[in-house]
Structure 1
Amino acid sequence: MAYTQPHPRQSILSTSSHSSVEHLSPTASSTRFSLPAAPSIHTTLGSSRQTATRVVPNIYDRNLNKARSSEVSASAYAFLFSEIVQYTQKRVSGINDFERRLNTMGYRIGTRILELLIWRNESSSKTPKREIRLLASVFGKAADGLEKSSANVDEYMIIDNDPLLERHISVPRDISQLSCSSFTAGIVEAVLDGLNFPARVTAHNTANAQYPNKVTILIKLEKSVLEREELLK
């Protein structure tokens, strides 16, 4: 059975419709629908080679003698230490354990600080100095006082009226005896041990009305140090 062909006007796509569709087709010559050409394989390989040969700065390539460029902002220092305190607080059983852990962390850092300070001291000049300003090098400020105990000849005290580490630390009342400066005491103990002055270093809160964050770092030298000093007299 044969079917008659529909009239062009009755067709779904007439001749005029075909022409309009071809005009709107992306394959037409209109520049509005033209797509950018894909990059060639040579261009892609060339850009990847340039990225691969780019030099990435390495922290081990920095000059150890440049102390100013290695300074850290006080806010970043305080934030990092507060995170250390919060991390340690969740893993201790009491104040003594808390201070012992902070002291151990400070001791590990103190061994590295001593090595760095000795390197800078010996490489900076032909006649290196015998003294090392520890707290000024680590915290950017010297201690407010250094005293020798009148009761015990083997005890010395470092006084800090406003410790940098405790400026943004709020100790709860139930553990008010806690001294977060045990971290600093660990640094001092490591430096003394490295310089062949073995001692036991602890931190104690000695706050008053004028200095609410005042801390005293107590240094108790071992008996061998006193005996050696007597032989050198």
Structure 2
Amino acid sequence: MQAEKTVDHIVKWLKDYAVNAKVNGFVVGISGGIDSAVTSTLCALTGLDVLCVEMPILQAPSHVSRAVEHIKQLKDRFKNVRDARVDLTPVFEEFKTEVTLEGQEATVAMALANTRARLRMTTLYYYAGLQKLLVAGTGNKVEDFGVGFYTKYGDGGVDLSPIADLLKSEVYELASVLQVPNSIMEAAPSDGLFGDARSDEDQIGASYPELEWAMAMDDAGKTADDFTGRERDVFAIYKRFNTSNKHKMDPIPICVIPNNLK
């Protein structure tokens, strides 16, 4: 990939979109991960207003420290970058007192994890509406169109997606060009939705390089029968996530009413 030219292309696309939409710039949720770091830097390069929002909810300390480090270096480099910190932990804890937490432990944990993401989405749109900004998504191609590893109407609720056509490996290529801090470059990718340091690979069962391979094999029309050993396992993992998360990737189903009933 031609990283420098890709950066220029995305930055121009972002700026043109914002100008045409007659907004002031972008708001980005900063998690301490590679995707939000790259997205926020690309937004900063447009020269438009960029608001970086950190939204901890019982967050792992390593995630918080990386987010703080990234925001600081971004503000040092770009005068158009501002930041806000919104501790959503009290909101999250209050939410839990108002809903039933009955059910299987794993099911409740997942529902609460998705609630965290949706609280953050709500916060980003609050600032977007207040300051006339667009919510910039941070999902990459493998997450958004491969395994659907994001929360519907959470981190998936955005106005535009500048890196959604980039594989995770390509996001890292851009990160090198964009001077993303080494602490973020070297950290294991994590969605940070469970209050601990578990990685994406821990949850999915496969690494991003493996998932990129599986995505390419699926696009080429391969099936699980074409592989053995670890490759067969990884392909099966990819297909399981891809199939079960289709509802996130496809348009919302609409019940079309026949003309004779109208």
TM over 0.5: no
Highest Rg: 1 or 2?
A: 1
Question: Which structure has the highest helix share of the two?
Answer: 2
Higher relative contact order (CA 8 A, sep 6+): 2
Q: TM-score, normalised by structure 1?
A: 0.25
